[in-house]
Structures are given as structure tokens and as C-alpha cells.
Amino acid sequence: MHYEVDGHGPGLVLVHGTGGDAEKVFGNVVDHFSETRTVVRPNLSGSGQTTDDGSELTVDLIAEQVAAATRAAVSGPVDLLGFSLGAVAAAAVAATRPELVRRLVLVAGWAHSTGPRDRYYFRTWRQLLDTDRELFKRFSALTGFSPAALDRFGHQGLADSLADSWPPPGIGRQIELGGRVDLRPLLPAISAPTLVVGFADDAMIPVEGSRQLHAAIAGSRLVEVEDQGHMDWFADPSGLVDLTREFLDAS
């Protein structure tokens, strides 16, 4: 397993989502924390330089990957932030390895994929990956960003996005895992103080997923960010950074 480590101080672990990696998702976040924290960014199977046998992914596996990177990079309980599929991994770590987690931040996550809409979404996403790479990328942009964010890209920016090298070869395994998620048996075991952040205009992982996490995690705090899609914050992470810092620094 590959992971990045920056900075010095108490541990902060940042876990990317489906199709992302340590640098694409959190490259513009690290500097906000690395002056006072050791920031650890693991790459899940299918992303970055992490390599494995290519077998089916499970929640247990990605949780163990996050836990292993955490133990290898820092000592003591850490603050753990997961985004999208990374939030699934982070929640599983907090539930099954409570000694590792001081505070937990779950961004645009979800509790389970068993409902009709979610199953339909993940199966459609996977089929597009298999049949038409350009349509897959268009679908990912249209559901991953809000309308306002897409307009900010402009015609040329959107055209350029179709020509880049994304997605990574391992994304199919991550999408398949996303369609099989069911954290409901684990969530009541989470004891770490938890902040749940959902995005009101999220068409990829609707905000209802964050509400489900909040309802199942005792004592958690829910923040719903208006006028934001799933990945809008990539362009300007300052709002999420401020929410995270306020929560992590609370006594």
C-alpha cells in the first residue's frame, strides 16, 4: 500500500473517494494542516501507486488499508477525515478500531447502497465505464459537480476534461464496492466525536446519505452545505478546511 506523509505533529489522515487518489483529492488541502499536523494520505486499492492482486474490494479491506497506513505513519489516536468512498472506509475504521480515532469527519458519505436509486446509479456508472469512456466521463461530471460549478469550467474546460487521463484503471473495482456498501450494523459502534458534512446539491451521493450517517452515529453533528455538488470543493477547499479545523480544534 502506498501513502503520502507531510508535516509534523498530531496525526490527521485524509482518505480519498472513488476514482481519486491522495494527490488529486487532497493535494490542495495538505498545506492547510501540515504546519501543525502529520498529514497522512493513503491510496486505496485501485488508486495511486497502491498495488494488489486485482480482486474484489470490500469495506473490511479498505478499512484495513487506512488503519495500516495510519499505524505505519504516526503513533497514537488520529483525526480521520474520509470523502465519499473514503468516508465509508473512515466510518468502518472508527467502528472497528476505536483506539485509532480521536475525531472523525465524514464528507459526502453514505450508510448503505441498498436502495433502488443507489443501486441504479452505481450499476449505470459501472456499465458506462465498460461501454463508453467518454460518456462515463460526461456522466461523472454531470453528477459529480453542481450546475454552477460546471458552468464555471466553461466550454473549453469541460472539453479539456474529456481529454485528460482520468479515470484510473482500478476505478471499476471501487465503483462495484460503492454499490455494495452497508455500514448500518457498524455505525452504532462509533464512539469518536463525529462531524458529518453533506452537500445539498450532490447528485452523485445525495445528501440523504449524510443524514443517514448522522442519524446512526450517536452524538454526531451534521452540517449541510448549500449550493454544493459532490466535488465542487476540489476547486476551493477553504470552506471544508474551516469546518474541519473548527471541529478538530474543539475541546
Q: Each residue's pLDDT tens digit in the chain (251 positions)? A: 999 999 999 999 999 999 999 999 999 999 999 999 999 999 999 999 999 999 999 999 999 999 999 999 999 899 999 999 999 999 999 999 999 999 999 999 999 999 999 999 999 999 999 999 999 999 999 999 999 999 999 999 999 999 999 999 999 999 999 999 999 999 999 999 999 999 999 999 999 999 999 999 999 999 999 999 999 999 999 999 999 999 999 86
pLDDT of residue 76: 84
pLDDT of residue 56: 95
Marked catalytic residue, from 16, 32, 214, 230: 230
Using a 10 angstrom Cβ sphere, with 0-12 exposed, 13-18 middle and 19 or more buried, the burial of residue 10 is middle
pTM attached to this predicted model: 0.97
- Residue 230 is among the residues annotated as catalytic for this protein: yes
Marked catalytic residue, from 202, 210, 214, 220: 202
pLDDT of residue 123: 98
- Residue 214 is among the residues annotated as catalytic for this protein: no
Phi then psi for residue 121, to 5 deg, are: -65, -55
Query: What residues pair up with 105 in beta bridges, in sequence order?
Result: 81, 195
Query: What residues pair up with 83 in beta bridges, in sequence order?
Result: 107
- Residue 84 is among the residues annotated as catalytic for this protein: yes
Ramachandran region, residue 54 (left: φ > 0; alpha: ψ -120 to 50; beta: rest):
left
Marked catalytic residue, from 84, 140, 210, 220: 84
Please compute Rg for the chain using Cα positions. 17
